[in-house]
């Protein structure tokens, strides 16, 4: 189809030829027809863009042809040609859609001018069609882009009216994408959210730059970007708004941060615990000498002696130092424990009596114990220490008055919770909850409360080991300890201990109050601390025993080889330079499987008492030991009365 093709329809052949000559000189391609039927045939075949129609034709009026041409070729622009007498008919044709009419005889200049205007109109119409098509394609592309965004995406004008929106936004409103166009964004979110978006939108318009912010919409966290669309004149014509629900991402990020913090905290406490255990080992050896010599001096005096009371005070101070060291070892998880099936409710009730004598009367104590509580596998003494330490911590947080609540419950922890804590396995746990109504703690304090020697108390009013000890005991039992607190709102400590299917029966431990027994056997003492060797030698000899001393494992083996028949028992320190106590124990028993060996240590390290007893040791005593109890243990082992009871001296 030639865009400069003109169909001339007139029954005068000479007239048609004359117009053809004029128009072809000006670049037009001319088609001609003498009747209506011939004109329709040419129009269908050649599709001219313009037609010049005579009003009167042999087979019908030109106005009829005008209508028929529009039916077969609606893009064709028609002009009418008429004599002056047919002017009314020409005007009627204009009303039917003719572009213009020319009076015969046609003047060439007027004809050419009209055709230029016709083809200008055609060109503009085609350009409009192309522009509309491009606009339609752009709109489709825009909608495709908006729909490709996985969350809310829309275009709005500066007043907040929706120009375009993706299916996600439309679905929120229960409408189609085109139905929301023209609506105001106020329908999308609560007023407080809209107020924030208006402020951010004004910021984007003012800065001519994207603005990104987070907002809470109906309990969900949304990451929103408002991007101004700027035209060539630097005017903001509209704004693109993208809003993505990042609630799950934020929760996952928080959980990851919490896991990292817990892991870092656990590693830091583990390192401090290792250091604390090493210090406690050396400190125990010093305490053993102090306690040993003090006990010897007390044994040599009566209560009426002027120095007796002073020595008792020294002994008491040494015992307190021993307890402090024990807490360090517990924190470092380097002390032995003897777990057994335990009813936590029973332990709480037993401690309650002690607490009511210890806690000031202006502090109320309430127990909220779960009936049918599951059994835990735990060391009774260490559980008592957990309860006492947490209760004393609560007491100190309520100097005026308050309420201490101790509760128990059965809980089941899932894997997602346990992943945040090292050595914790999903399953059934018994929960111990200790709550106070005291001053509470801020976030910074909460991060450090389980670290040894960290305290918020005044100098002289706390060692900073109470909660660290709780942490160590709980970790050793493969449990979890947490604290929830806010300033001015008290604190709640949550201790989770793994439940067991065992039955918690009663066990009675008979007290042994007999005076220190005597003996005459020969005993080999093995310890790398000279002061300990000397004090034990003096005590044993004072009670009738003969003593052979060795400062290390190698010397002990040599002495035993020389006096094998004469040595009845070996008191062996576990931690020594060179050949350690465990290796020495194995070598001694290899030489004589029936040899009676008592292992002593204040720092079990990687060798718990059970392991040493399985190797063949008859008993394990913990440093610093009480000399009276040590004498009892030695006598019982020699008499084969007690093997493997692990009495704490």
Q: Are 211 and 219 in contact (CB under 8 A)?
A: no
Q: Are 325 and 447 contained in the same domain?
A: no
Contacts of 523 (CB under 8 A, 6+ apart): 540, 545, 546, 547, 548, 567, 568, 569, 570, 571, 634
Looking only at the bridges linking them, the beta strands covering 236-245 and 220-230 are antiparallel
Q: What is the CATH number of the domain that holds 393?
A: 3.30.565.10
Residue 402 falls inside a structural domain? yes
Q: 97, 128, 159: which is the final residue of a domain?
A: 128
Q: Are 105 and 183 contained in the same domain?
A: no
Q: Are 21 and 62 contained in the same domain?
A: yes
Average pLDDT, the chain: 80
Cα distances from 592 to residues 551, 564, 596, 607, in angstroms, run 21, 9, 9, 22
- What is the domain count for the chain? 5
Tell me the C-alpha distance between 568 and 562, whole Å: 13
**3-state SS of 469-510?**
HHHHHHHHCCCEEEEEECCCCCEEEEEEEEEECCCCCCCCCC
Q: Are 548 and 589 contained in the same domain?
A: yes
DSSP assigned state of 515 = P
Q: What is the CATH number of the domain that holds 154?
A: 3.30.450.20
**Exposed, middle or buried by CB within 10 Å (0-12, 13-18, 19+), for 499?**
buried
Q: Are 494 and 350 contained in the same domain?
A: yes
**3-state SS of 538-573?**
HHHHHCCCEEEEECCHHHHHHHHHHCCCCEEEEEEE
DSSP assigned state of 226 = E
Element containing residue 453 per DSSP (H, E): none
Q: Of 239-243, 325-329, 372-376, which range is least confident?
A: 325-329
Tell whether the model's pLDDT for residue 494 goes beyond 90.
yes
Confidence at 458, pLDDT banded by 50, 70, 90? very low
Contacts of 321 (CB under 8 A, 6+ apart): 283, 287
CA 260 to chain centre: 8
Residue 82 falls inside a structural domain? yes
Q: 128, 163, 178: which is the final residue of a domain?
A: 128
Q: Are 406 and 391 in contact (CB under 8 A)?
A: yes
Residue 511 falls inside a structural domain? no
Residue 466 falls inside a structural domain? yes
Q: Tens digits of per-residue pLDDT, 151-196? A: 777 878 888 888 887 777 777 777 777 777 778 777 776 677 777 7
Residue 578 falls inside a structural domain? yes
Q: Are 352 and 492 contained in the same domain?
A: yes
CA 132-136-137 angle, 5° bins: 120
Tell me the C-alpha distance between 169 and 490, whole Å: 46
Residue 526 falls inside a structural domain? yes
Q: Tens digits of per-residue pLDDT, 348-361? A: 988 887 788 778 88
Q: Are 394 and 325 contained in the same domain?
A: no
Tell whether the model's pLDDT for residue 513 goes beyond 60.
no
- Sequence-ordered strand ranges (E) for 69-210: 77-82, 101-103, 152-156, 162-165
3-class DSSP state of 73: coil
Q: Tens digits of per-residue pLDDT, 253-308? A: 777 777 666 666 566 656 666 666 666 666 677 777 787 778 778 777 777 887 88
Residue 139 falls inside a structural domain? no
Sign of CA dihedral 315, 318, 322, 327: positive
Q: Are 569 and 618 contained in the same domain?
A: yes
Backbone angles phi and psi of 179, in degrees to 5: -70, -25
Q: 245, 275, 290: which is the final residue of a domain?
A: 245
pTM surpassing 0.95? no
Q: Are 114 and 183 contained in the same domain?
A: no
What percentage of the chain reaches a pLDDT higher than 70?
Answer: 82
Confidence at 324, pLDDT banded by 50, 70, 90? low
Residue 110 falls inside a structural domain? yes
Q: What is the CATH number of the domain that holds 629?
A: 3.40.50.2300
Q: Are 41 and 120 contained in the same domain?
A: yes
Mean per-residue pLDDT for 584-609? 84
Q: Are 161 and 81 contained in the same domain?
A: no
Q: Tens digits of per-residue pLDDT, 336-345? A: 556 788 899 9
Q: Are 452 and 314 contained in the same domain?
A: no
What confidence score (pLDDT) does residue 272 get? 60
| Residue 468: CA count within 13 A, CB half-sphere | 29
Q: What is the CATH number of the domain that holds 264?
A: 1.10.287.130
Domain interval for residue 428: 340-500
| Residue 554: CA count within 13 A, CB half-sphere | 3
Q: Of 62-76, 129-143, 238-252, 543-557, which range is least confident?
A: 129-143
């Amino acid at each position: 189809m030639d865009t400069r093709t003109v169909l001339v329809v007139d029954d005068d052949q000479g007239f048609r030829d004359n117009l053809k000559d004029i128009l072809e000189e000006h670049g037009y391609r001319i088609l001609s027809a003498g009747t209506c039927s011939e004109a329709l045939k040419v129009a269908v075949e050649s599709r001219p863009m313009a037609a010049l129609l005579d009003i009167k034709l042999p087979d019908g009026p030109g106005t009829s042809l005008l209508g028929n041409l529009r039916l077969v070729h609606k893009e064709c622009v028609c002009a009418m040609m008429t004599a002056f007498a047919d002017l009314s008919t020409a005007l009627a044709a204009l009303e039917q859609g003719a572009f213009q009419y020319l009076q015969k005889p046609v003047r060439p200049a007027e004809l050419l001018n009209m055709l230029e205007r016709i083809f200008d109109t055609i060109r503009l119409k085609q350009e409009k069609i192309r522009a509309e098509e491009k606009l339609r394609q752009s709109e489709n592309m825009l909608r495709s882009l908006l729909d490709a965004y996985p969350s809310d995406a829309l275009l709005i004008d500066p007043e907040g009216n929706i120009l375009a929106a993706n299916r996600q936004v439309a679905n929120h409103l229960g409408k189609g994408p085109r139905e929301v166009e023209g609506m105001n964004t106020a329908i999308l979110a609560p007023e407080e959210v809209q107020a924030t978006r208006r402020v951010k939108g004004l910021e984007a318009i003012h800065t001519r730059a994207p603005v990104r912010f987070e907002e809470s919409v109906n309990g969900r966290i949304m990451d929103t970007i408002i991007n101004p669309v700027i035209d060539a004149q630097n005017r903001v014509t509209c704004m693109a708004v993208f809003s993505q629900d990042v609630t799950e991402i934020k929760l996952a990020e928080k959980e990851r941060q919490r896991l990292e913090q817990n892991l870092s905290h656990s590693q830091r406490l583990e390192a401090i615990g290792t250091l604390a255990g090493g210090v406690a080992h050396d400190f125990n050896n010093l305490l053993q000498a102090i306690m040993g010599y003090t006990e010897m001096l007390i044994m040599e005096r009566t209560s009426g002696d002027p120095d007796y009371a002073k020595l008792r005070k020294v002994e008491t101070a040494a015992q307190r130092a021993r307890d402090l060291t024990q807490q360090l070892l517990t924190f470092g998880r380097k002390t032995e424990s003897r777990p057994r099936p335990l009813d936590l409710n029973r332990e709480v009730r037993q401690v309650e009596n002690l607490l009511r004598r210890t806690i000031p009367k202006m502090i109320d104590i309430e127990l909220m114990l779960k009936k049918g509580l599951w059994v835990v596998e735990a060391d009774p003494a260490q559980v008592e220490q957990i309860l006492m330490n947490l209760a004393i911590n609560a007491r100190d947080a309520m100097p005026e008055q308050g309420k201490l609540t101790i509760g128990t419950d059965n809980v089941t922890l899932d894997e997602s919770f346990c992943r945040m804590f090292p050595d914790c396995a999903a399953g059934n746990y018994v929960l111990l909850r200790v709550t106070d109504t005291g001053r509470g703690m801020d976030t910074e304090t909460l991060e450090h409360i389980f670290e040894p020697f960290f305290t918020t108390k005044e100098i002289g009013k706390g060692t900073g080991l109470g909660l660290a000890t709780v942490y160590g005991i709980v970790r050793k039992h493969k449990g979890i300890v947490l604290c929830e607190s806010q300033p001015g709102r008290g604190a709640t400590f949550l201790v989770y201990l793994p439940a067991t299917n065992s039955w918690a029966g009663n066990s009675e431990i008979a007290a042994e109050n007999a005076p220190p027994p005597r003996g005459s056997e020969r005993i080999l003492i093995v310890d790398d601390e000279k002061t300990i060797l000397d004090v034990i030698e003096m005590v044993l000899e004072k009670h009738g025993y003969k003593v052979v001393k060795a400062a290390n494992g190698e010397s002990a083996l040599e002495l035993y080889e020389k006096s094998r028949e004469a040595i009845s028992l070996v008191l062996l320190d576990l931690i020594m330079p060179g050949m350690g106590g465990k290796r020495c124990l194995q070598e001694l028993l290899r030489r004589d499987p029936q040899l009676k060996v008592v292992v002593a240590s204040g720092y079990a390290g990687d060798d718990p008492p059970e392991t040493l007893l399985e190797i063949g040791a008859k008993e394990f005593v913990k440093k610093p030991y009480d000399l009276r109890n040590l004498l009892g243990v030695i006598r019982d082992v020699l008499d084969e009365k007690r093997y493997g009871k692990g009495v704490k001296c």
